[in-house]
Structure 1
Amino acid sequence: MTIHDFHVHLYFDAAEVERAKALAVALATRFDLPVGHFHTRPVGPHPRGSVQLTVPTERFGAVASWLSVNRGGMTVFAHSSTGDDRADHRDHVIWFGPSEPLDMSLFG
């Protein structure tokens, strides 16, 4: 199975938007990562507001190490991107902070 890259999703509630933006900027700056759109409501399988950063495989170890001590109490959901969306969101996952239930129904 080939891992194309990793997706890191920062989860936030309305009161945490600015903290999420600051964390996204810190990640983007430190690791040269693109920052996706800030969704202020649940989108796709994600249970809360979120933003996605796409991490090349060769940088994921450094990103995960940094997040483990710098996430500022925010919940972060990370998963590999192999082309099997269901498995990527169910089986190939790492949580920083408490895990949250995903809506897997859209994956069939």
Structure 2
Amino acid sequence: MSLRPIAEIASYHAHIYFDGPEQRAIAMDLRDRIAERFTVALGRVHDRRIGPHARAMYQVSFDVPTFALFVPWLMLNRQGLAVLVHPNTGRERIDHLEQGLWLGEILPIVNQDMLQEETEAEEARPPNTAPTLVP
């Protein structure tokens, strides 16, 4: 078994999933709370399944140092929503299917064929938030 160095992780994504109007409202409130507290890039809200994701969702892109504060906060404040947090190492398929961690319900990853075996590792997207509160 060869070990992979954590330096392979260029950034992280958190996919916040929701199903129906009630969960969508919770997800949008959570999105606002994230923006108030963390320097991250909030992706578009997808009100239908997109890509390999089994539910409507939005993505949060963040850099490696942010993981230590953001993910524990998300563990405590996800309000019952399913969340996938995965690294971006340039191996999309493995990053989503094997290297991620689930908070709450574990959802299937669909259309797995669209996930590439090897790509360029995605750096964290430029933040589009301006936090005003501490985590």
TM-score in terms of structure 1 length = 0.93
Are 2:89 and 1:63 aligned?
A: no
4+ long deviations beyond 6 Å: none
| Structure 1 portions without partners, runs of 5+ | none
Distance 1:82 1:30 in 2: 26
Q: TM-score when scaled to structure 2?
A: 0.76
Which runs of no fewer than 5 residues in structure 2 stay unpaired?
A: 117-135
Matched pairs, number: 108
CA distance in structure 1 between the partners assigned to 2:86 and 2:73 by the alignment: 16
Give me the CA root mean square deviation.
Answer: 1.2
Larger radius of gyration: 2
Question: Alignment partner for residue 107 of structure 1, among 111, 115, 129?
Answer: 115
| Pairing 1:3–2:46 present | no
**Do structure 1's residue 86 and structure 2's residue 93 form an aligned pair?**
yes
Rounded to whole Å, the distance in 1 between the matches of 2:55 and 2:40 is 22
Pairing partner for 1:13 from 14, 19, 30: 19
Deviates more, 1:2-11 or 1:13-22: 13-22
Q: Secondary structure at the match of 1:35?
A: strand
Tell me the equivalent position of 2:130.
none
TM-aligned CA deviation for residue 14 of structure 1: 2.5
